[in-house]
Amino acid sequence: MGGGLPRAAFPLKHPKRLDETRLVEALSERDLVEASVLAAHKGRGPIAQLLVSDGAIGDWDLSRVVSEVFHLPFLPVNMAQPDRELLDSLPCKALLEHGLVPLCRQGGLLTVAMPGMVEAPALAEVGAETGLRVMPVVGTVLTNRRWLEENPCGAQENLNQTPEELGAEWGDLFDEGDAAVQKQDDENVEPVSLTSAECSEEPEAVSDSPTALPPPPRFG
């Protein structure tokens, strides 16, 4: 298991269905955000992230409401230990699109910290992309955003790079290998001259002297 977080910290039952309509109702009922502000943000995108980014509600205040309404644990990434390697080992397009931070994986269960809240279809999209069951906890908008900015997911896009694009260390390693092979070839293979102009000396004639030939064999 990555991240070093205890299993007991994560719920193993399905939470209430994550729905922005229920969140908006809760914010209005508690007089945390004016109805006109909520109406102005409706349909513009993930409302939790928009409200925090526009200063309509505090980051932690929104996350507290999400945790209470949907009965999910509050665990922002600055208090957890997200598994950085999961971004490289799993498809991360949907994670990044919805601002989700992977905290840990336990077999077929992937626990993610939400930026306040995302709707159920966003989690289903991550599940379809990774092939894992996704269990959310409540993070915050700003801490999720900061963590993802500091831990970019770029390894998957670089899998098809040529050796020259892999960095100076890999390039040097390949150059040294080529040089070693070339040196070995130069030491073991003598160059062959194909033209008489390249010969520096005249070839010696074969001597007709008997001493130039081995003695004939004797029988009997």
Instruction: Quote the CA–CA distance of 97 and 128 in Å, as a whole number.
Output: 14
Domain-located, residue 192: no
Model confidence band, residue 72 (pLDDT cutoffs 50, 70, 90) = very high
Domain-located, residue 80: yes
What is the model's pLDDT at position 152? 87
Candidates 113, 125, 102, 99; CA nearest to 46 is: 99
Q: Is the pLDDT of residue 40 over 90?
A: no
Domain-located, residue 175: no
Domain-located, residue 208: no
Model confidence band, residue 194 (pLDDT cutoffs 50, 70, 90) = very low
**Beta-sheet strands, E only, within 49-172:** 101-106, 109-114, 133-138
Contact 139, 39 (CB under 8 A): no
Domain-located, residue 87: yes
Q: Is the pLDDT of residue 144 over 60?
A: yes
Domain encompassing residue 65: 17-155
What is the model's pLDDT at position 4? 41
Domain of 52: which CATH number?
Answer: 3.30.300.160
pLDDT digits (tens, 9 = 90+) for 74-88: 999 989 889 888 888
Average pLDDT in the 13-37 region?
84
Domain-located, residue 146: yes
Domain-located, residue 180: no
What is the model's pLDDT at position 81? 84
What is the model's pLDDT at position 161? 36
Candidates 126, 101, 129; CA nearest to 115 is: 101
For residue 56, how many other CB atoms are within 10 A of its CB? 18
Domain-located, residue 131: yes
Model confidence band, residue 183 (pLDDT cutoffs 50, 70, 90) = low
- How many domains does the chain divide into? 1
